[in-house]
Amino acid sequence: MSSAEQGEPSGACADSITRRRLLSGAAATAAALAIPDIARPTQRASGETRNVAPIPRSRRALMAFTARGLLLNDKTKYPTLPSGWRQLFEVAASIGFTGIEFFSFSGAPSFAQAPGAEGGANPSAAQIRKWLDAAGLKAIGHYNASIVNNSAVGLTPATLDAALETAGILRQPRTGSHDATGAMWQKSEVDRVIESWNQMTLKASRAGIPIYSHAHDAPWNFLLDSAPTDAKGNFTRSSGIRVMDYFLKHTDRRWVECEMDLFWAHVAQFKYRSYTAADGSTVGDIFDPGRQIAKDPSRYPIVHAKDGIRAPKTEEGWIICPFGYGDIDIERFLKTSQIEKTNPWWSSEQDNADGGDADPQKALRDIADGYRGLSTVGGAGGRSSLLLPSSSR
User: pLDDT tens digit string along 94-131?
Assistant: 999 999 999 999 988 999 999 999 999 999 999 999 99
* 27 within some domain: no
* 149 within some domain: yes
- The H or E element that residue 22 is part of is helix 11-33
* 274 within some domain: yes
Residue 8 has pLDDT above 70, yes or no: no
* 42 within some domain: no
At 120, which CATH number? 3.20.20.150
* 30 within some domain: no
Q: How many Å apart are CA 271 and CA 264, to the nearest integer?
A: 10
Residues 350-374: tens digit of each pLDDT = 999 999 999 999 999 999 999 999 9
Residue among 100, 91, 176 nearest 132 (CA): 100
Alpha-carbon Rg for the chain, nearest whole angstrom, is 22
Q: In the chain, where do the E strands start and end?
A: 40-43, 49-52, 60-63, 99-104, 138-144, 146-148, 151-153, 175-177, 211-215, 226-229, 235-237, 256-261, 274-276, 282-284, 302-305, 307-310, 318-321, 345-348
* DSSP calls for 95-107: HT--EEEEEESBS
* 140 within some domain: yes
* 291 within some domain: yes
Residue 382 has pLDDT above 80, yes or no: no
Burial class (CB in 10 A: 0-12, 13-18, 19+), 363: buried
DSSP-assigned beta bridge partners for residue 50 = 42
Instruction: Find the domain containing 296 and state its range.
Output: 50-392
* 130 within some domain: yes
Q: How many domains does the chain fold into?
A: 1
Residue 15 has pLDDT above 60, yes or no: no
Residues 17-58: tens digit of each pLDDT = 344 444 455 444 444 444 444 344 444 444 444 455 569 999
